[in-house]
Amino acid sequence: MNEPLKNLLEAARKMQPSPREIEVQRRSFAYGNTHFENEMITREMIDRVADEMADKQKND
């Protein structure tokens, strides 16, 4: 493995994702898994449900 690639990998290992990046990844994962099983699932549906869940958590 060349040195620039080693440096990039090391930097990636140390990176801490922001809460927003984690949320985007979570929604992407949810969409990918549900859409695979049911092609009628849309990203908009995932976003709507995730937003509803977040609002519910805030109110509890």
pTM for this prediction: 0.73
The answer to whether residue 38 is domain-embedded is yes
Mean pLDDT value of segment 27-44: 95
User: Half-sphere exposure of residue 46, counting CA atoms within 13 Å on the CB side?
Assistant: 19
- 48 in a domain, yes or no? yes
Residue 11 falls inside a structural domain = no
Mean pLDDT of the region 26-40: 95
Q: Note whether residue 42 is domain-resident.
A: yes
Tell me the mean pLDDT in the region 13-22: 95
Least confident of 13-17, 43-47, 55-59: 55-59
How many folded domains does the chain comprise?
Answer: 1
- pLDDT tier for residue 50 given thresholds of 50, 70 and 90: very high
Is residue 2 in a domain? no
Structural domain containing residue 43: 17-59
